[in-house]
Amino acid sequence: MDEKSLKERFAEELEAAGFVIDWNRLKEAVEALEKAFAAIGLMAQDAINALSATYEEIEEAFSGIESRARRRKMERSRARAIEQRYRAEIHRVERERFCRRIYKPP
């Protein structure tokens, strides 16, 4: 039994179907396509690298920025802690000198 290569079987099938194949032109076309796909792959890789670098820069820029609502919440909690310390100090002084009232802002 004579085993034929895939190329030979493909050529026989195409000739049987009535197609005329110029193998040299087909080989040139395949080489041109390989070069084109290699160039496309390099361009795609460059684009992906540029996008990932840009994404990292954007992420770095926004990582230090807090939202306005979060910042206000932190400011409120800081103000609440300051008021609590202020009230505690007032009560301490009033307990030491019970005849004296300290002005308390509203």
Please spell the DSSP secondary structure of 48-99, one letter per residue: HHHHHHHHHHHHHHHHSPPPHHHHHHHHHHHHHHHHHHHHHHHHHHHHHSTT
List all residues 6 or more positions away from 74 whose beta carbon is below 8 Å from its beta carbon. 66
List all residues 6 or more positions away from 66 whose beta carbon is below 8 Å from its beta carbon. 74
Give residue 53's pLDDT.
87
Q: What is the DSSP letter of 30?
A: H
Q: Mean pLDDT over residues 15-44, rounded?
A: 88
Give residue 65's pLDDT.
74
In this structure, is residue 104 part of a structural domain? Answer: no
Number of domains into which the chain is organized? 2
In this structure, is residue 103 part of a structural domain? Answer: no
Q: Which helix (H) or strand (E) holds 39?
A: helix 23-63
In this structure, is residue 35 part of a structural domain? Answer: yes
In this structure, is residue 105 part of a structural domain? Answer: no
* Tens-place pLDDT, residues 53-90: 888 888 877 776 777 888 888 899 999 999 999 989 88
**pTM for the full predicted model:** 0.41
Confidence band (pLDDT; 50, 70, 90) for 2?
A: low
- 3-class SS string, 7-20: HHHHHHHHHHHCCC
47 and 6 both lie in a single domain: yes
Which range of 8-17, 52-61, 69-78, 95-104 scores highest in mean pLDDT? It is 69-78
Confidence band (pLDDT; 50, 70, 90) for 106?
A: low
Structural domain that includes position 7: 1-65
